[in-house]
Chains A and B, each alone.
Chain A
Amino acid sequence: MRILVIDDESLNRFLLIHMLEEAGYTDCFEAETGREALQLAKKIKPDLILLDVIMPDTDGYEIAPLLKKMAGDIYLPIIFITAMDDQVALARCLEVGGDDFTSKPFDKIILTAKIRAHARTRLLSKRAYVQNKELNYFRNGVEREHAIVEHIFANALNINKSVAHFFDYRLAPASNFNGDLFLVEPSPSGGMYFLMGDFTGHGLASAIGALPVAKAFQAMAEKGLSVAEMASTINHTLLSLLPGDMFFAAVLTEISSSGRQFSVWNGGMPDLTVISKEGEVTKRFCSQHMALGILEPHEFEENVEHHDANFGDRMIGYSDGVIELTNIEEEMLGEEAVMHWLSEDPSIPVEDISHKVEKFRGKAQQLDDITFVSYTCQSLDELKPEYSVTQLPFEIVVEMDVEKLKSFDPTFELVVMVCSQLGMQSVRSDLSTVLSELFNNSLDHGILRLDSTVKRTTDGFFEYFEQRVERLAVLEQGHISIKVQFEPTTHTLTVTVSDSGDGFDYEHIAVSNDNEAFGRGLPLIRELCSDLTYYEGGTVAKATFHLNI
């Protein structure tokens, strides 16, 4: 306990310090003037001040507030020493920041009791100060972590801007982090997908599951998967990820490139409703499934509902935070209220609906996240994938001699090579199939002279492939050449496959019925490309593709 005694009279100082030392307070300092006291206090940081009221240079009334200010947030007790007994003067001691006073002549017992009492308060204040500091430090840490997580969420859950403008939507989380999720992505076929979902609970704990869902949804949308498959995959992901008491109610919708056909998988969300321009309900996609993250893969149901709407029809969806919202009288908003607003004004913007929802809630606290999504059927022509195609005429020629025929199948690499050219990606899968058919025809029939009719019986089917392996192994001569040509002016891609075999009677090729396990190749090629022609007795096949721009 460090005590600073401030008095202009040395006798008083001597008496006080002597008394304090007797009482066990040996860490005492003294100052003669106010100025000296301030300097000393700055240096020694006293725990308690005994301050004389009347001094020649600056009196106690002036010094007290300065000392208090210097002490900052920690309580520094100031006890005035005074010979005065006038009430006004004594009251003033406390008004200027003093905490107590003691009168001359000094009473040892009273003074030491007062010092002990003020020391206790100072100790409490010191503890509170330290705890406050720790609390602040902790709070800053949490805030910083939240800021980082919010940043990650904002980026991961970014709504795809290229298609977001087709939707009128609003998300109102109950806390910093949203357990509701709304995502939209374009589909490769020129339509769109959207996902609206609601994790159990709200806040950070429920929002955390949104990250893997968003990433999976975006990746699957890019590949053009069906909503059933998306639901199944997300279910599987969440099942292995989420704790048992947490799940994800969600509705997955694909809007076709026409802009008015819907495929919907709804698991545990409120009805997704389609209303006509006149406000009449024309379709309700009710929840047909359990929420995601509950069922094992073999229990999972993929049923999807389809609906053809008209241009101008409106699809409305919302999370249960909307209908379960309660006002101060503890009345629930309910689905009917929302439907009533929509029937009154079928084109009411989501913002206006939100105002109505807010008005209903009034002063009551928002307990759950609220999401509102609306899509009005319209042309999605602007989403049509644009293909710009290379201006470069090119030709790739592959010569396969016996050794190469024995060691690998050239079709895959050739397709990769062709499709790495600008704009060729659109023909990738058709080209893969056609090239594989033509090459295998040349190899199987032209070079290896295999007979497809062997495949007629189920055993023969495998025998055929065994023969193929055997004959290829002992092959001594033969070659196949493949030429892929692109003509940019007409957007024509031609594939020419020629072999060193004897050819075949391509004009009288047998047409197999639907049940035969062979003879499907040629009809398939004819469907996939715009033209297929044989030359030179069937040893040269030429398939033509016209790229659709």
Chain B
Amino acid sequence: MSLETQLSTDEKILTIHMEEKFDFGKVQDFRDAYLNVPDSVDTIVVDLANTEYMDSSALGMLLNMQKTMADRIGQFRIVHSRPQVAKILKISRFDKKFDMS
């Protein structure tokens, strides 16, 4: 099942909505979600509002996205992390690498 994505009307922001579980089972879906974005996109937002838990492979996937897309995308944001997910991101110092709000 593919992940829900949303393109802003000016086609500059792509938002990827993650599901309840964010782990290695999502590798393919997650890559599909960002790989074929239109050239107009300059910001990728990963919305974790529905995510109840993630593991280290999810962290790897986020970093991998950043590496793959760094030359095309100016800003990567992680939004709506719940406290327990925010804790994992913080432990892994992702707050230094991603714009978290």
A residues near B, CB below 8 A?
A: 189, 223-226, 228-229, 296, 298, 302, 409, 412, 428-430, 432-433, 436-437, 440, 455, 458, 461-462, 465, 468, 514-518, 520-521, 523-524, 527-528
Contacts and interface: CB of A to CB of B under 8 A. Distances in A.
A517 B85 contact: no
A468 B68 CA distance: 21
A524 B8 CA distance: 34
Interface string B30-62: 010000000000000000010011111101110
B91 A514 contact: no
Nearest to B9: A298
B54 A433 contact: yes
Nearest to A515: B63
A409 B25 contact: yes
Contacts of A458: 64, 67-68
A144 to B, nearest CB: 42
- Residue of A223, A228, A518, A520 ringed by the most chain B CB atoms within 10 A: A520
Given A225-B49, A409-B25, A524-B88, A517 B60 contact: yes
Q: Sort chain B's interface into a size bin.
A: 35 or more
B60 A520 contact: yes
Contact of B93 (A302, A461, A514, A516): A514
Classify the secondary structure of B's interface with A.
Answer: helix
Given A224-B82, A226-B80, A429-B84, A520 B92 contact: yes
Given A226-B80, A458-B64, A520-B92, A432 B97 contact: no
B80 A229 contact: yes
A189 B83 contact: yes
A302 B80 CA distance: 11
A455 B55 contact: no
Nearest to B69: A458
A432 B68 CA distance: 28
22 contacts: A224-B82, A296-B9, A298-B9, A298-B10, A298-B13, A302-B101, A429-B52, A429-B85, A430-B84, A432-B55, A455-B60, A462-B27, A462-B31, A516-B63, A517-B59, A517-B60, A517-B61, A517-B67, A518-B60, A520-B56, A523-B92, A524-B59
Interface of B: 8-10, 13, 21, 23-25, 27-28, 31, 49, 52-57, 59-61, 63-64, 67-68, 80, 82-85, 88, 91-93, 96-97, 101
B60 A440 contact: no
Contacts of A429: 52-53, 84-85
Nearest to A516: B63
Contacts of A436: 23, 53, 55
Contacts of B25: 409
Contacts of A518: 60
Contacts of B64: 458, 461, 517
B56 A521 contact: yes
A451 B88 CA distance: 24
Contact of B97 (A437, A461, A514): A514
Given A302-B101, A461-B60, A437 B68 contact: no
